[in-house]
Amino acid sequence: MKNTIAHEALINHYNNTSFTHNYIFGFTYKGNVYAVEATSELLPFVTMVDKASRGAGLALRFKPNTSIKLMLMNKGAKVICSVEHFNEVLASDKYNRGEVFEKLITELNGQEWTKDSVPYTEDGDLTVNGVAWQIKFEKATFINEKQMMRARA
């Protein structure tokens, strides 16, 4: 969905309120799950505006198409596992795709993952060598209009 004003507003609000501007983006491509480290400078290029669920207006999402995935590959994306392995972990776990990806990344960094609900304004999903990271897997939502308006109130 093209809505450049909403896209810019959602990105600006997210950047202005986010604890960290470091991201690990995850995506599938040709049978593998990839991860790439990036900063908020990439948000305008890897996010889109989409309809939010439950009447929350519009949402800022990471929904990479093939061209975005290829761009992320050129930014140094690394294979984490096969899609087959990812789906096996997903099927044997109670967590969603984003949580499973976060768990895999956390464990690859030698840490034990636990589900939490710490807001993006207070901390990242993972801290490595003193650097906080937000972890986003494809189809992840950053923020929606309802959350943005509530924060501004």
What average pLDDT values come out for the chain (153 residues) when binned by 10 residues? 81 95 98 98 95 85 97 97 96 94 96 92 95 97 86 65
CA 124 to chain centre: 11
Under a CB-based contact definition with an 8 Å cutoff, are residues 150 and 57 in contact?
no
Order across the sheet with 48-51: list the strands.
48-51, 58-62, 140-144
Element at 10 (helix H, strand E): helix 4-17
Under a CB-based contact definition with an 8 Å cutoff, are residues 26 and 35 in contact?
yes
Q: What is this structure's pTM?
A: 0.93
Cα–Cα distances (Å) from 87 to 43, 81, 83, 97, in that order, read: 27, 10, 6, 9
Element at 117 (helix H, strand E): none
